[in-house]
Amino acid sequence: MTSQANVQTVERYLDGFRTTNRLQILECLADDVEWVLPGLFHTRGKPEFASQIESKGFEPNPAITVDRIFEHDGIVIVEGRVESKRTGGGLIEIACCDVFDMRDVKIQKLTSYLMQTSK
């Protein structure tokens, strides 16, 4: 598969999160997808992944900014920022680096490194 096709899948996935479009997000994933946030959680399979798409305490449709995106040998790396409104008021800002392992132009594994940059 081409590098560009892998990047396009990741961009579609991110757009799905921006609009909280669960179907669009899930279409980008392999059936045996894994999502790892080191030290926080590790999901396996689409049903477990789907349960983490919307977080309690946060409004849907976060603002996601991509600062850099790379693809090499089936791995897509995205550096960026996320801003999300809290349901009780306020805003959380997060710097992130996501590493996507791709298989057949689908996300097979996602490892997310997150750092809160605001309170």
Q: Which domains does the chain have, with CATH numbers?
A: 3-116 (3.10.450.50)
pLDDT at 55: 80
Helices (H) and strands (E) in the chain, counts: 3, 6
Confidence of residue 3 (pLDDT cuts 50, 70, 90): confident
Query: pLDDT at position 119, please?
Result: 60
Q: In this predicted structure, what is the pLDDT of residue 56?
A: 81
Q: Is the confidence at residue 53, as pLDDT, over 90?
A: no
Strands 29-37 and 41-44, by their bridges, are antiparallel
In 3D space, the residue among 94, 101, 90, 96 whose CA is nearest the CA of residue 112 turns out to be 96
pTM comes to 0.93
Strand 41-44, strand 63-72: pairing: unpaired
**CA 104 to CA 28: how far, in whole Å?**
10
